[in-house]
């Protein structure tokens, strides 16, 4: 096939890939997404500062120290990082062919058989957006815990009521739309770079101070060989796997790289690289930081029984004996992790824009409207739903504590479906069409697909386990409730609405260039 042959994959892609300005509605009355809003470094900084893996681990020390102990994070996080990297590498093969704001659900459609394309892509996309909605609420909840911890450090007599907690939750949630829509595109890119720098510099200041001041320090045998099981489960394996869950959650939201790809020049090359770098550097930095924090533990029982809300606050107080220093350290965590709410909101807005473009939503032109450089109505809807989800904190505390698990389940579903499509026939299709794609894993692609699918299935099973026994209303795992509610809702929406209206993406998929690939 000649270089200038118009039927070659490279030429077809020039014609069939989604236009980068596709945020514009059919009436052409609004400003489309900026085709050059991002660069490699701004996308990387956005993704790194949104997932902030080290913060997710540090604020989850209660789970880690009681379920499995230090080994659950020291070795479990290496395992989680490796499996997440396999997932991202698997996505990279599809990303390099079809960079799109729809991300996972477009890739699922691209590699699914025509008869099941609509159903598979719809469920993948809806799982993604539900994960993003729950992710906004989960990130805002963790930020609320940090604010509460700061208050308790400085006012131990403070009493947190559900109303006060919800008020803090609303404030944390509103950071996302106010920052995304209030300062403009260029300022947002500077904000992302600034938050990444703060995350790096702030973590260095924290770990150097804690290691210098903590006395006595935890022993190496405790950090690298300590095993704890205070879950009530007789099996130490189950306890260790429960302790692994914060490591799984620590990478949630990396798909923001996919959802902003239509605003990234040369996205087929720079996009997969940005995603890979995000997982690699997040994994390495988070592991180093959490190991240093574990060494700074002087008294495990005092840390777990802290009155400051977060075990990390007790570690800081024990090491520095300073309320001011402890407040500053928690404030660093709060500022950098607040970007997780913003990142999930940005991703949700662009995913809803892609939904509208493909005819998945009623009043689609509304969700394709772009103002201030953002798909504004998708962002507004996402924030409203997150605020509604937050109302569950007026019920059992365990219900809201399970939000991270609920969001992770739906994220994981959207992450693993494209990998499954690749494993079961999609790789053959992609290799026939694009053998020279920039990111081709070759024989290692199958290995990465299998690892990523196994990790997701294993995590989904453990996420529905009760975190402690005996089970009471105060410690019940409500993840299965979230999963069942939204799962049944998706089934009802599909058969009651979407099945008759959604026939698959309206944009031409790259694999439609060669119909014979789908011979069944």
Give me the domains of the chain, ranges plus CATH numbers.
Answer: 24-510 (1.20.1740.10)
CB within 8 Å of 492: residues ≥ 6 apart: none
d(CA 472, CA 243): 20
Q: What angle do CA 290, 46, 18 make, to 5 degrees?
A: 135
With b meaning 16 or more CB within 10 Å and e meaning fewer, what string describes 16-55? bbbebebbbbeeeeeebbbeebbbbebbbbbbbbbbbbbb
- Taking the C-alpha atoms of residue 214 and residue 299, their distance in angstroms, rounded to an integer, is 10
Residue whose C-alpha is closest to residue 192's, from 411, 387, 39: 39
Indicate the helix (H) or strand (E) that contains 228.
strand 228-229
Residue 332 · residue 58 · CB < 8 Å: no
Q: Which residue is it, tokens 């809003």?
A: 37
Which stretches of the chain drop beneath a pLDDT of 50? 1-30, 515-520
Distance CA 43, CA 17 (A): 20
* Predicted pLDDT at 25: 45
Q: Which residues are paired to 307 by β-bridges?
A: none
Beta bridge partners of 375: 370
The pLDDT value recorded for residue 32 is 62
Alpha-carbon span 35 to 304, nearest angstrom: 49
pLDDT of the residue at 480: 83
Q: Which runs of consecutive H residues, i.e. helices, occur in 230-322?
A: 236-249, 256-259, 267-295, 300-304, 311-320
For residues 262 and 20, is the Cβ–Cβ distance under 8 A?
A: yes
Q: How far is CA 244 from CA 57, 62, 118, in A?
A: 10, 12, 35
Strand pairing partners for 228? 68
If phi > 0 it is left, if psi is from -120 to 50 it is alpha, else beta; for residue 233 that is beta
Which positions ≥6 away from 6 have C-beta within 8 Å?
Answer: 12
CB atoms within 10 A of CB 385: 18
User: What are 268's two structure tokens?
Assistant: 């087929």
Distances from the Cα of 8 to the Cα of 267, 434, 512, 517, angstroms? 20, 9, 13, 15
* CA 407 – CA 284 distance, rounded (Å): 24
Residue 470: count other Cβ atoms within 10 Å of its Cβ: 7
d(CA 344, CA 136): 6
3-state secondary structure of 227: coil
**Residue-level pLDDT at 517:** 41
| Contact yes or no for 108/509 (Cβ under 8 A) | no
- Rounded distance, CA 48 to CA 28, Å? 34
pLDDT at 514: 52
Measured distance between the N- and C-terminal CA atoms of the chain, rounded to whole angstroms: 26
Place of tokens 């403009």: 184
- Residue-wise pLDDT for 317-357, tens only, equals 999 999 999 999 999 999 999 999 999 999 999 999 998 88
Cβ neighbours for 393, distance < 8 A, ≥ 6 positions apart: 141, 162, 165, 166, 169, 399, 400
Rounded distance between C-alpha atoms, residue 443 and residue 453, angstroms: 16
Residue 515 DSSP one-character state: G
- Cis omega before residue 470 (within 30°)? yes
Q: Please give the pLDDT value at position 513.
A: 59
Give the mean pLDDT of the chain: 86
pLDDT at 2: 39
């Amino acid at each position: 096939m000649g270089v200038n042959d118009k039927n070659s994959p490279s030429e077809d892609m020039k014609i069939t890939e989604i236009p980068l300005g596709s945020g514009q509605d059919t009436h052409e009355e609004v400003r489309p997404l900026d085709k050059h809003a991002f660069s490699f470094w701004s996308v990387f900084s956005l993704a790194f500062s949104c997932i902030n893996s080290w913060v997710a681990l540090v604020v989850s020390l209660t789970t880690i120290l009681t379920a499995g102990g230090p080994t659950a994070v020291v070795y479990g996080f290496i395992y989680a990082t490796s499996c997440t990297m396999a997932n991202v590498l698997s996505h990279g093969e599809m990303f390099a062919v079809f960079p799109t704001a729809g991300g996972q659900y477009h890739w699922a459609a691209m590699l699914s058989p025509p008869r099941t394309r609509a159903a598979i892509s719809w469920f993948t996309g809806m799982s993604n957006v539900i994960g993003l909605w729950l992710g906004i609420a989960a990130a805002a909840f963790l930020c609320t815990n940090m604010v509460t911890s700061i208050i308790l450090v400085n006012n131990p007599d403070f009493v947190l009521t559900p109303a006060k907690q919800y008020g803090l939750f609303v404030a944390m949630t509103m950071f996302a739309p106010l920052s995304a829509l209030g300062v403009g595109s260029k300022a947002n890119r500077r904000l992302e770079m600034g938050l990444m720098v703060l995350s790096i510099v702030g973590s260095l200041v924290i770990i150097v101070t804690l290691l210098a001041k903590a006395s006595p320090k935890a022993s190496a045998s405790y950090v690298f060989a300590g095993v704890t099981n205070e879950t009530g489960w007789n099996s130490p394996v189950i306890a260790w796997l429960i302790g692994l869950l914060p490591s799984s959650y620590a990478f949630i939201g990396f798909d923001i790289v996919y959802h902003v790809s239509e605003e990234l020049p040369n996205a087929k090359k720079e996009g997969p690289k940005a995603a890979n770098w995000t997982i690699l550097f997040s994994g390495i930095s988070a592991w180093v930081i959490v190991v240093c924090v574990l060494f700074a533990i002087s008294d495990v029982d005092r840390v777990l029984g802290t009155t400051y809300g977060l075990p990390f606050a007790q570690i800081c107080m024990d090491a520095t004996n300073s309320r001011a220093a402890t407040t500053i350290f928690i404030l660093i965590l709060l500022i950098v992790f607040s970007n997780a709410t913003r990142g999930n909101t940005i991703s949700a807005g662009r995913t809803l824009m892609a939904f509208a473009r493909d005819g998945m939503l009623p009043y689609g032109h509304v969700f394709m409207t772009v103002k201030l450089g953002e798909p504004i109505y998708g962002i507004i809807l996402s924030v409203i739903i997150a605020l509604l989800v937050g109302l569950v904190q007026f019920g059992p505390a365990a219900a809201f504590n399970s939000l991270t698990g609920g969001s992770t389940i739906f994220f994981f579903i959207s992450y693993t479906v494209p990998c499954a499509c690749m494993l079961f026939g999609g790789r053959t299709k992609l290799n026939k069409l694009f053998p020279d794609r920039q990111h081709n894993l070759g024989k290692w692609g199958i290995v990465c697909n299998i690892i990523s699918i196994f990790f997701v299935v294993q995590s989904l099973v453990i996420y529905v386990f009760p975190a402690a026994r005996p089970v009471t209303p105060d410690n019940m795992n409500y993840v299965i409730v979230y999963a069942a509610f939204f799962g049944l809702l998706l089934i009802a929406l599909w058969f009651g609405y979407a099945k008759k209206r959604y026939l698959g993406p309206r944009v031409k998929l790259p694999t439609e260039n060669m119909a014979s690939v789908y011979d069944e």
